[in-house]
Amino acid sequence: MGIKNKISEGHIYYLTMTLTNWIDIFSRPVYKHITIDSLQYNQEHNGLNLYAWCLVTNHLHLIASAEDGKNLSDISRDFKKFTSKAIVNEIIDNPHESRKHWMLDEFEFVGRNNPKINNYKLWQDGNEAKEIVRVEFLEQKLDYIHQNPVKSEVVNNTEDFRYSSAIDYTGGKGLLDVILV
């Protein structure tokens, strides 16, 4: 991770995690649920604090921090490592995945020249971490995250998108616990 995306303890960040070659993995519920379950695990066991999130077809936005004594960079790294293995294994094992060979070829090709990768590279490097230091920036990123599926014409209203914290900000309960800001 370069210095421009350095994550310091005790701060809240806007993060974007993007899939290799922007492949639309999260068009399938099974891969979305692996990702959601991993976020929830990290909340319960690794000190991840979520303030907002949105999982669209090829990337994940978060506004997040880590509990005292925990490191958001480590949580992010371990999350990506776990979900990479779990999703690739699901692709391999799923006889109904019509894009199996194409996706595995793409992930293998990108990972081939990376000494840190054994077989497949699911996530792009980095997470585009931006520290949130002003209320205006926080509000802009909250709006951006929640409007993402509306602008993509997946839903008409932010709170109707299941894989987002937008419903939490309109008084409902979403798939993950969030700390409202």
Averaged over successive runs of 10 residues, the pLDDT of the chain (181 residues) comes to: 58 95 95 98 98 97 95 95 96 95 94 82 90 94 96 93 97 97 90
Pairing of strands 13-18, 130-131: antiparallel
Residue ranges covered by each domain of the chain: 3-170
Q: Where are the alpha helices (DSSP H) in 17-174?
A: 29-45, 72-93, 100-112, 135-151
At 6 the pLDDT is 67
Nearest Cα neighbor of 58 from 122, 7, 128 is 122
Give the chain's radius of gyration (CA, Å). Answer: 16
Q: What angle do the packed helices 100-112 and 72-93 form, to 10 degrees?
A: 140
3-170: CATH topology is Alpha-Beta Plaits (3.30.70)
Global confidence as pTM: 0.92
Residue 117: predicted pLDDT: 78
